[in-house]
Amino acid sequence: MKLSMVLVSLLGLSAAACAGRPAAPARIAGTTAIQTSDATPAAGRSTTLATAISGEETRDEAKADEPAPIPSSCEAEGTLKDAKLCMPDRAYAKKLCGGVYPEVALGLFGKGTPFTRVYLAGDVEAWNASGGRTHRMKLAFDEEVLVLAKNSAAAMGGIVMTGAQNSYDVLRWDGTCVSIMDGELTTKRPPTPKPAELAFSRLEEPTRHALLEAPKVKARHAALGKACVISATATSADKKACDKADKAFAQAIVESVRNGAALPSPSRRP
């Protein structure tokens, strides 16, 4: 009798212990349906970090794609006929000569820029040897150009002939680049340096508006409009008057830029 009561007591304690034990985790298709308490936050942190890194890379790529500002200081030097040259960075010069940037040309020719201006010693046919436009262009005697890069004859590779000349990549007022030989240039400024022909209508609208702020440019623009109303009955004298007004307008633009016209930063830059 006493033995039976002991057994019953032991059985009761065992049942109570089993009842207090935590239930086994439920299983779905053989996988425990319980996750650690920090699993979700860990995933969230990973996603946030990946997004941040991706955002930084996108900003870096966008910054790398931004066009460079117009240079304002000498980054390369050299000599031309014993005159010291001040030129922009060679990598920038190569990019500039890979296209046509008339607004950038106006900025580089502007008042106060340190870059070396040189002049054509005669009428010349030249081409761009730096990867830009490849067709030949005619440059007139006394045309003003800006030196972008010097190409030494000794550094061009191959056999260097006796008397071989250096060449120079130069920028014209219209934004095109050409390569000119040493003997075709002079550092002596002529009485009236000539610019390359400017296509005013092709300039960016903000640049056109800024140029017309100058009274002389505005007056010459109005005179051009009156002189170039060409009709079917126009005479050769009418055409000459239009051509003269066009050149006077272009010269007024050049003078305004040389005198320090305030121009906006061009949106299209190398």
The tens place of each residue's pLDDT in the chain, 270 residues long, gives 444 444 344 444 444 444 444 444 443 344 334 344 444 455 555 555 555 555 555 555 545 567 889 999 999 989 998 899 999 999 999 999 999 999 999 999 999 999 999 999 999 999 876 665 567 889 999 999 999 999 987 655 555 555 678 999 999 999 999 999 999 999 999 999 999 999 999 999 999 999 999 999 999 999 999 999 877 788 999 999 999 999 999 999 999 999 999 999 999 999
Give the whole-angstrom CA distance, residue 203 versus residue 103: 7
SS (H, E, C) the chain: CHHHHHHHHHHHHHHHHHHHCCCCCCEECCEECCCCCCHHHHHHHHHHHHHHHHHHHHHHHHHHHCCCCCCCCCCEEEEECCEEEEECCHHHHHHHCCCCCHHHHHHHHCCCCCCCEEEECCCEEEECCCCCCCCCEEECCCEEEEEEEEECHHHCCCCCCCCCCCEEEEECCCCCEEEEEHHHEECCCCCCCECCCCCHHHCCHHHHHHHCCCHHHHHHHHHHHHHCCCCCCCCHHHHHHHHHHHHHHHHHHHHHHHCCCCCCCCCCCC
Q: Which residues pair with 193 in a beta bridge?
A: none
Residue with tokens 């966008």, as numbered in its chain: 62
User: Helix 102-109 vs helix 236-258: angle between axes, to the nearest 10 degrees?
Assistant: 60
**Which tokens is 78 given?**
């050299």
Which residue from 70, 149, 68 is spatially nearest to 107, judged by alpha carbons?
70
- Copy the structure tokens of residue 31: 């996988």
Radius of gyration in angstroms for the set of CA atoms belonging to the chain, rounded to a whole number? 38
Tokens 């299209």 belong to: 268
Question: How many whole angstroms from its chain centre is CA 79?
Answer: 27
pLDDT for 81-115, tens place per residue? 889 999 999 999 999 999 999 999 999 999 999 99
What's the distance, CA 59 to chain centroid? 17
Phi-psi region of 131 (alpha: psi -120 to 50; beta: other; left: phi over 0): left
Q: What is the pLDDT of residue 264?
A: 96
pLDDT value of residue 146:
97
At 2-35, the pLDDT tens digits run 444 443 444 444 444 444 444 444 433 443 343 4
Can you tell me the distance from the alpha carbon of 18 to that of 129, in angstroms, rounded to the nearest whole number? 92
